[in-house]
Amino acid sequence: RNLKLETILLTDNGYIKLCDFAFAKLLSSHSSYTYSIVGVPDIMPPEILLGRPYSFSVDWWQLGIAMFEMLTSRTPFYSPSMFQTHKNVLQNHRYEFPSHISSLARCTCMMLLQPNIKKRLGCSLTGMDAKEVKQNIWFKNHVDWTAIIERSHPAPYRMKNIETNSNKTMSMLNTIESKWLDEYDQAVRSLMNVNFLDENDSIS
């Protein structure tokens, strides 16, 4: 119930690991449900906002939110007002994709963000599992699931590839920090040279 970009991490070899399971709840089966109203406003699905029983449908909705954000650099229902954000979700507010996003990617994202649970990708009557999502044509055309499970597929982003930029960034931050500390030190030293009034001094 808390799948968002901030909880999706990359290992050194470029494979994904999830973190922060504070809102996670273990369900005994696909027929089990929970009613807790928890989560971040931007990623909460209609069923949680309406207080209806839900199960794994939430995960597929939030995958759709994460996918949309990775494709567009924004969340589909965001508003500065939490109330308006919830309203956008409940009214299935129209969200737009940039023109460069393929029709297949758009369609897959919209299927994951389907307000009707029974029509949402991954939530068919045959069971709420990953099989339906894996068989979706967009994932099927782009993802070798076996290779990913075996970690035999070369990851597009690896720590080695960004190590140089990271070192440059850290060097820049260290320079800024050092300069700030020097200025702070000078300010403190100048204050130490000021003769402040003692409590016994009087003002004439």
Question: Which of 33-42, 55-64, 183-192 has the largest mean confidence?
Answer: 55-64
* Percentage, residues of the chain above pLDDT 90: 30
Region for residue 158 given its phi and psi (left: phi exceeds 0; alpha: psi -120 to 50; beta: otherwise): beta
Band (pLDDT 50/70/90 cuts) for residue 30 is low
pLDDT computed for residue 47 by the predictor: 93
- Indicate the CATH number for domain 5-150: 1.10.510.10
Distance between terminal CA atoms of the chain? 68
Contact 15/155 with Cβ under 8 angstroms?
yes
The ranges assigned to domains in the chain are 5-150, 158-194
pLDDT tens column, 46-94: 999 998 988 888 999 999 999 999 999 999 998 888 889 999 999 888 8
